[in-house]
Structure 1
Amino acid sequence: MVVQAAEEILLKLSTPLYTVLILTEMALSHWHGKKAYTLKDTLSNVYLTSLNMGVDILIRAFYIGVLLYCYNWRLIPSWPSAFGYWLVLFVLEDLLFYLLHYVDHYCRLFWAIHVTHHSSEHFNLTTGFRSSVFQPLYRFVYFIPLAMLGFHPADIVLMFSATQIYGILVHTSYDIRLGILEWVLVTPSHHRVHHASNVAYLDKNMGMCLIIWDRIFGTFQAERTDISIRYGITSQPEDMGPVNMVLHEWRALWRDVRRAPNFRTAFLYLVKPPGWSHDGRTKTSKQLRNDEAMGRP
């Protein structure tokens, strides 16, 4: 009940903000001839976030129960400072989201879930709502360490919901600069790179709110003036209907698993990065970057 009440407050605060900003971006996009929005793409984003919310609602009691169980075995009985509690929760939860996001990009099984967030060839505020439909099924696992450290599950869920607001707002093609804060915070420029399908930009800038994790762990890439951004994924499916939009990468993964010469190779198709193949037929983002650096097609 506490989680629900807190999220209702966030919803009441964020909905008018989203509405005003989306309508403003739509108007500016039309005025500047950017064509950042299409009706089909916007409806697809609404459809995907609705599915994601449905999955989350269905399993919420389960994952909160798991977090509560872990919280009962917490290593830190109480935090001496409320400010320290919320600050550490914010930083650690953002770090764990970075880890989740990294795995989503570098493990094909989880990429099959996350790819829907990247399959739009447009980039605007509604892209932030283009959710990975099945991510709620496993996302909570990454937050178990927080419960073990003494953070209440209600606070964990609330913090994730709050940081998602910022995560949505950086989905814009408009150039909003933050000065020195860009060394610490994710900006629209950073996140444009993340959504690009250009080889130099693949699997970069994974942070939700803090860009420091990308700088620390080597996944940071600044936006380059010599690269014209292409949004979407490297192999864009022709069929972007409501079913294939969600399942196209699962079908591709299944085809690769079936053509594997043995069980070990089939397993590697599940856990290796997207693009990995046992015969070199397709390539990972790292291999593609190496080819580009060497001047190979």
Structure 2
Amino acid sequence: MRMKKRTSSLIILKRMARNKGAIFGLIVVLLIVFVAIFAPVIAPKDPYKQDLLASLEPPSWKHPFGTDVFGRDVLSRVIYGARTSLSISSLAVLIAFILGATVGTIAGYFGGVLDEVLMRILDVLMAFPDILLAIAIVAALGPGKINLVVAIAIYSFPQFARVMRASALTIKSSEYVEAAKAIGESNLSIMVRYVLPNALAPLLVQATLRMATAVLTISGLSFLGLGVKPPEAEWGTDLAMARVYLEIAPHLGIFPGLALFITVLGFNLFGDGLNDALNPRLKDR
């Protein structure tokens, strides 16, 4: 058994190594996570310290990304913006992962009326575009980090539940699950010990891809004034302020926009590569 797991892991690593896009995405994700964790050490300036005498300075040795209208260092705000975006999106995706895995496991394992009711509820949630549902939730609850987490978790968990349900429908008819039932193992034990662990691969792929969507949503809602509140450093908030000064200080929009673009691209490329590597239908060549 241990040899099989080791062989399977090697095959996955080989597939990932052959996918240049996935490797690039992984490097980007690791770099962004590193920057977010060590933001206080990496940032050259205090992202909230104002210097009105240095307002709207272009990029220079002193301020590599320039300064904003309040004289704050744009590079430091971009670095701290990574911490804000990743902390909110990670918590939201984790909640959606747990909630979706739970609902999907229950629906797929038990089936019947319970499955129909749960799936119809998910259909209603999935009928709305992600960003519109997030706007409606945040507009009802009010702007703020906690409400952003709630909004992203609510519109994300149906995707996890769908993926988990599909896996549970297949796994529950497998021989080892039938054997567990035959020896009198409880349904809860079967779901926790057999169904959920064997469905982790597609859930991890979904989590990686949902991180990209979550980061975009956070910036989009902050841009509209429904997300992170100023003066906290966040890419969408900084882009909202930059649009007023784009003609005289284009650097205000270029660097936060690039950070957002590269982060989303990295998560998407890594997620696609991970999906290809974990797909059992692909034959190793």
Provide the TM-score with structure 1 as the length reference.
0.30
The one of the two structures with greater contact order (alpha-carbon pairs below 8 A, sep at least 6) is 2
Q: Which structure has the bigger radius of gyration? A: 2
